[in-house]
Structure 1
Amino acid sequence: MVTAERIAKRIVNYPDDPIPTVTTKQYIARYTPNPRRAVVDYVLSLFPILTWISRYNLGWFTGDVIAGLTVGMVLVPQGMSYATIATLPVQYGLYSSFVGVTIYCLFATSKDVSIGPVAVMSLIMSQIIAKVDHAHPKEFTGPEIAVTLSFICGFIILGVGLLRLGWIIEFIPAVAVSGYMTGSAISIAAGQVPGLMGISGFNTRAATYEVVINTLKGLPRTTLDAAWGLPALASLYIIRIVCERLSKRYPRWERPLFFISVMRNAFVIIILTIASWLYVRHRRSAKGTYPIKILGTVPRGFQAIGQPHIDPSLVKALAGQLPLATIVLLLEHIAISKSFGRINGYTINPNQELIAIGVTNTIGSCFGAYPATGSFSRSALKSKSGVRTPLAGLVSSVVVIVALYGLTPAFYWIPSATLSAVIINAVANLVATPPQIFTYWRVSPLECIIWWAAVLVTVFSTVEDGIYVSITTSIALLLLRVAFPRTAFLGKVTIRNGDSKETREVFLPLSNNGVNNAHVKVEPPSPGVLIYRFEESALFPNSARLNSEIVAHVKQNLRRGKDMSNVPLSQRAWNDPGPGRHGAQADQEANNKLPDLRAIVFDLSTVSHLDVTAVQALVDTRNEVERWADHAVEFHFATLLSPWIRRALLAGGFGTNGSTFVPTEIAIAQVHPYADSNFQQRSLGKRDSSSDLEAGDAKQPASYPEGFEPVVETNTPFFHFDLATAVKAAESGSLSS
């Protein structure tokens, strides 16, 4: 007697289940590490410096000193320049520069990344300050806003890293990052052109297209500042181009020429600062102004050091801007660190990198620093300079300290137009090149459209809108790809292996022949057999597609088992009228010419997971096609290597030869879907063999030669190791794999 309790045991895979599959306990034990070992590893992973500092040597020290000094020489002028973008006093850029390179080395998993002020974050900082000031006029100063934002963002990112939630960043693709960075670079460069030319009288933080239009209109108002801006910009590019060409022509001088190119920022600023001092020192007006705009007084040392004062009303005012600032800090740093990890052959830990950024910005708020993250240009410079370990950041911090305590009197005479030239030259490297954009188009046209959308929205609106557009469109594309995966009904092509005479069958989509060669014809499988490939994990967003495609294909191309021409309309289902009164016989004759459905083969080579909704969709598919065929249909599953998927399919009643109960509903409904009780008994009778169930044992496996074992279980004959075996079993009608 087959009891409900005995059937339930066979479904949920109790220990006495004769069908071998993974149990929940085994699955958890496999993927859950030893808790004690995990805690120890977690604590040690917070300080990666402990894993390599004991092996530090003189060779590493030499490389770090050279790279640190090189980056420091660039960091000082860039830090001051980026502070002007953020509409902050220049010393705050130096504060951020010092804290970034000092703290990061303790938590870093990347030797190349240089943390500090960056162009995109500085632009966003300026927009945040403007918004807060507009909502709360003269209530908060720019430095107060910047320090508070640094503290809160740092705390948020630190929490994300400690909780190991860095995988969230993977939902934002590289194309989206490239798009908003390109748009931001264009916006920054456009906003610096007025300062380069000495043009004023309009808002340089407006939309990029407005800034460009107003700059063109203001060209007649160009001032003497252009004499310090245009030569600086031209010199920066000329020196770089000359050094690059000479290094190609004279490879032996490549490294000295590289350092000459690197030092061009400092060289140009020093020369034009001296020229500024010589020209303006005796030309101060009665109002205290000079003929050109110069930097002015830069306070010596760390003037803002101390415990940050976090005003609750300011935190409330910043609430709407926190997601934007946090996303930029996360994305830019992780993208840069991963890029240099790939280039230089090491792997970064994204969660640890988030901890590094979080600690840097949290501690930075005690020094008066504004939000800092990884810099692409300085990281590239650090990498090319031969950096060996993250300790090179300490050397860069020494350079910043020397500048803060020893060079501030000289900073007074730096022309603002020269800093604008430095900014334009730096952000130009963030703009994607035409070959790179063309590569996006060749790889994925849809993602290329996302790139253009991010750039255009940034240029014609704001950086904030550009970032949100790039992220939302990327997530929307991901959801569309999950919900509408590529599917195909497959056919066979016989190919020969190289020069040998051996042949084998491969399976390709029937639509469009599945190949680019028009002379290759894909043959359909044997009549009554379908081969279906689902190129995505079968999950609740897309499982309905699996069911609808197969059922629609079966009803359109395969024979209906029951003759509906003689069934009165009063006895037909409301949603299945069958053939009409006129031409019913002809319709039935056409139906009889179609092949009878015998088996459906599922290629699961690209399916890594099945959820409850997907298994229910398979159950529904089986019910509907068997109702159409009016007999049982074999369901074969190929390339079934995941024990978890095997368990899911067994729970749905698939895979066995009549020894497992066949559920009709595993999700919501409790009413049997079959309207015809006779058909229900006839269809299930083949599978629900009481003799097999009462025996309690699966069929004994066949004997195998010594040293050989079956790849898949012998008592699940509808599960197959590869597609060829599955198709062969389906076409032959055999129940052995």
Structure 2
Amino acid sequence: MGNADDHMYPLSNDYNFHATSANQRVAIPPPQPFVKSLRNTLKETFFPDDPLRQFKNQPPKKKFVLGLQYVFPIFEWGPRYTLDFFKSDLIAGITIASLAIPQGISYAKLANLPPILGLYSSFVPPLIYAIMGSSRDLAVGTVAVGSLLTGTMLSKVVNANEDPKLYLHLAFTATFFAGLFEASLGIFRLGFIVDFLSHATIVGFMGGAATVVCLQQLKGILGLDHFTHETDIISVMTSVFTQIHQWKWESAVLGCVFLFYLLLARFFSKRKPKLFWISAMAPLTSVILGSILVYLTHAEKHGVPVIGHLKRGINPASIMDLNFNSQYLPATIKTGIVTGIIALAEGIAVGRSFAMFKNYHIDGNKEMIAFGMMNIAGSCTSCYLTAGPFSRSAVNFNAGCKTAVSNIVMAIAVMITLLVLTPLFHYTPLVVLSSIIIAAMLGLIDYEAAIHLWHVDKFDFLVCMSAFVGVVFANIEIGLVLAIGLSIMRVLLFVARPRTVVLGNIPDTKVYRNVDHYTNTNNVPGVLILEIEAPIYFANSSYLRERISRWIDDEEDRIKSSGETSLQYVILDMSAVGNIDTSGISMLDEVKKVVDRRGLKLVLANPGAEVMKKMNKSKLLETIGHEWIFLTVGEAVGACNYMLHTCKPKMGSGESEKYSNNV
């Protein structure tokens, strides 16, 4: 790609080189002490947002207040809180509570945990997040994918039915490690690790996980007592169709009716966004109607399982239940890290999406610390993994929330439910919970996003489908590892095989562009212009050396066949080369030698500051010649044309010096 500044340096028709700033050479950056350079690099890597700049030149008291507001954002927006805000947050909080209660009970069953834990997890963590979180719209609670991961991974070491107490303690321990991992990422500002979960990876993984969750709910819909613990589609369908004689039609009919009602409510809410509350209230009304129906018909005696007794009271302490036994420690750490990453990826993505709509910024590292602290606190108060689910946050957003106080209102509503209303859930049929989960999961299968990926980037589509197929046909861990592996491989391919393109001159301009992209470009006689579109590192230096040689061979073959002016100059446009290592320096030195052996001249255009600094320290600048390094491609082409028309084709140092003096 040519440089946008090329038009500032016009070339005359007789190719004499006239540059308005020809005396200016590419400057070598002033030397910096190693410690200072390292500090700047680390600061840009770990503190790109420079969160400490607000503390500069502030008195100690002000610094303390700013520090308090940074750690606990509620102290920043709290003093500006108004009654109008509270009215909006009150409505939003009650609305999301109506969704959080049935979802919490449902997702706890998905994790093979007692249903009451779903309510516990919607009480303490939202309070922590309201104090420490930076998003105004995120609604905190249990998530389906995290629940499924917890249940799947812990079931490999302990059977929840055979030893429910140990399984429960391991779930608390895995939640503790998830929180510790999340908080550590935020404290040490390692949030870029989550960025390896690309958009394509998340779309495929979420779609596959949602499909697996829906398939798992066939157990509840069909009223089966025994079901496979595997999550792949083959095992699930085998388990379903080998128990046809045990299907309970009463349960299936009830499940289909409520599933139809939930999907119908969502359809109307999508058609008319102002009626969002219909979809938000549908799960709770399903629970109420299902419980009344079972109570009146005694359906629990005719093949419709119910929740049964739920313990009344708020969260009991569970800090003494954390299990750090070496026998189970690897499983709980692994479960915590995997579920923690997924929870962070979903929660931060959701928070940023809604922040964009309201035009405010959320700090990713703050969010990680908030997520980590609420899960650490949750593991000590009988909660399991919590995050920021999309469905609940969307309802919170549509309900008109103004601040995180909506989470506090939701937590209070859940607390009242725990203290007073839990006996009312005794007759809630499990099939209704399965219907609620299926309805919620269908919204996570984003086929439109997959189609968009196919049209825009086929490799991203491959990553998406790899995650989906891996999750559905193998298991969740394999699908996730496969998708992340493909994403990392793509990054490595970009680094190891960077693009190099030939540039040509757009007629009647001094702009140089890719000849394959702009078919009307003209070749510059006797000059080959190549653009390197990536930093030069050890991983790609050998490839670039060979690729540049092939470009030179191809250009010479083209010139021979067309009878044009013989090739004399090779210009490397280094505008996109942001950095270079010692292997890259050696590569340029070798390219210089190859070009010299061919009787050509190597010219560099617009190398960056870091590249100039390293070329200067390695003495490569002296080898190439300071007079053959230019600010723009236009200047470089002008210099080559000047030499072609005023000097002999093959120049020595005298001609170079003559050109330099003329300039």
Is TM-score (shorter-chain normalized) higher than 0.5?
yes
Shift of 1:306: 4.1
**1:384-417 CA distance string (max 9 Å, x none):** 1111111211000011111111111111000000
Matched, 1:271 2:289: yes
Mapping 1:47-86, distance limit 5 Å? 47-86=72-111
**1:89-141 CA distance string (max 9 Å, x none):** 00111111112211111111111112211000110111122111169974962
Alignment match, 1:11? none
Separation in structure 1 between the aligned mates of residue 226 and residue 112 of structure 2, nearest angstrom: 16
Matched, 1:643 2:609: yes
Which is worse superposed, 613-622 or 214-223? 214-223
Shift of 1:359: 0.1
**1:60-107 CA distance string (max 9 Å, x none):** 111111111111110000000000100110011111111221111111
Separation in structure 1 between the aligned mates of residue 164 and residue 402 of structure 2, nearest angstrom: 47
Separation in structure 2 between the aligned mates of residue 346 and residue 101 of structure 1, nearest angstrom: 21
Alignment match, 2:478? 465
Does structure 2 conserve the Cα–Cα contact (< 8 Å) formed by 1:199 and 1:219?
Answer: no
Alignment match, 2:639? 729
Shift of 1:643: 2.6
Matched, 1:24 2:28: no
Which is worse superposed, 230-239 or 356-365? 230-239
Alignment match, 2:457? 444
Shift of 1:55: 0.8
* Matching residue within 606, 610, 621 for 2:591: 621
**1:501-542 CA distance string (max 9 Å, x none):** xx31432334xx434xxxx44322221x22111111222211
Separation in structure 2 between the aligned mates of residue 730 and residue 392 of structure 1, nearest angstrom: 68
Alignment match, 2:132? 107
Alignment match, 1:514? 517
Separation in structure 2 between the aligned mates of residue 359 and residue 46 of structure 1, nearest angstrom: 11
CA RMSD of aligned residues (A): 3.0
Mapping 1:326-405, distance limit 5 Å? 326-405=340-419
**1:457-479 CA distance string (max 9 Å, x none):** 11111111111111111111111
Shift of 1:280: 1.2
Matched, 1:301 2:313: yes
Question: How many residues get paired?
Answer: 602
* Matching residue within 4, 20, 45 for 2:70: 45
Mapping 1:12-411, distance limit 5 Å? 20-25=28-33, 37=55, 44-133=69-158, 138=163, 141-203=166-228, 205-219=230-244, 221-223=246-248, 224-245=250-271, 247=272, 255=274, 257-280=275-298, 291-302=303-314, 304-313=316-325, 314-411=328-425
Separation in structure 2 between the aligned mates of residue 262 and residue 644 of structure 1, nearest angstrom: 55
Shift of 1:259: 1.7
Separation in structure 1 between the aligned mates of residue 318 and residue 214 of structure 2, nearest angstrom: 34
Alignment match, 1:524? 523
**Normalization by structure 2: what TM-score?**
0.84
User: Alignment partner of 2:509: what SS?
Assistant: strand
Alignment match, 1:609? 579
Alignment match, 2:493? 480
Letter in structure 2 aligned against 1:55 = R
Does structure 1 conserve the Cα–Cα contact (< 8 Å) formed by 2:211 and 2:472?
Answer: yes
User: Alignment partner of 1:115: what SS?
Assistant: coil
Does structure 2 conserve the Cα–Cα contact (< 8 Å) formed by 1:514 and 1:522?
Answer: no
Does structure 1 conserve the Cα–Cα contact (< 8 Å) formed by 2:525 and 2:565?
Answer: no
Does structure 2 conserve the Cα–Cα contact (< 8 Å) formed by 1:616 and 1:652?
Answer: no
Does structure 2 conserve the Cα–Cα contact (< 8 Å) formed by 1:112 and 1:387?
Answer: yes
Separation in structure 2 between the aligned mates of residue 277 and residue 136 of structure 1, nearest angstrom: 27
Return the index of the structure with the highest Cα Rg: 1
Matched, 1:598 2:583: no
**1:274-321 CA distance string (max 9 Å, x none):** 11111118x75xxxxx64200001111135324243333232443443
Separation in structure 1 between the aligned mates of residue 584 and residue 68 of structure 2, nearest angstrom: 40
Separation in structure 2 between the aligned mates of residue 362 and residue 243 of structure 1, nearest angstrom: 36
User: Alignment partner of 2:120: what SS?
Assistant: helix
* Cα distance, 1:44–1:619 mapped onto 2, change above 3 Å: farther
* Cα distance, 1:458–1:391 mapped onto 2, change above 3 Å: same
User: Alignment partner of 1:141: what SS?
Assistant: helix
* Cα distance, 1:278–1:491 mapped onto 2, change above 3 Å: same
Shift of 1:429: 0.9
Does structure 1 conserve the Cα–Cα contact (< 8 Å) formed by 2:149 and 2:335?
Answer: no
**1:423-479 CA distance string (max 9 Å, x none):** 10111111112x321211122100101111111111111111111111111111111
**1:666-694 CA distance string (max 9 Å, x none):** xxxxxxxxxxxxxxxxxxxxx5xxxxxxx
Structure 1: unaligned runs, 5 residues or longer:
1-17, 248-253, 285-289, 495-502, 560-589, 656-660, 664-686, 688-715
Mapping 1:417-436, distance limit 5 Å? 417-433=431-447, 435-436=448-449
Separation in structure 2 between the aligned mates of residue 721 and residue 551 of structure 1, nearest angstrom: 24
* Cα distance, 1:45–1:599 mapped onto 2, change above 3 Å: farther
Separation in structure 2 between the aligned mates of residue 35 and residue 395 of structure 1, nearest angstrom: 34
**Normalization by structure 1: what TM-score?**
0.76
**Identical positions, percent:** 27
Structure 2: unaligned runs, 5 residues or longer:
1-25, 44-49, 57-62, 644-658
Alignment match, 1:541? 539
Shift of 1:363: 0.3
* Cα distance, 1:552–1:373 mapped onto 2, change above 3 Å: same
Letter in structure 1 aligned against 2:412 = V
Which is worse superposed, 54-63 or 718-727? 718-727
* Cα distance, 1:412–1:140 mapped onto 2, change above 3 Å: closer
Alignment match, 2:6? none
* Cα distance, 1:36–1:349 mapped onto 2, change above 3 Å: closer
Does structure 2 conserve the Cα–Cα contact (< 8 Å) formed by 1:147 and 1:308?
Answer: no
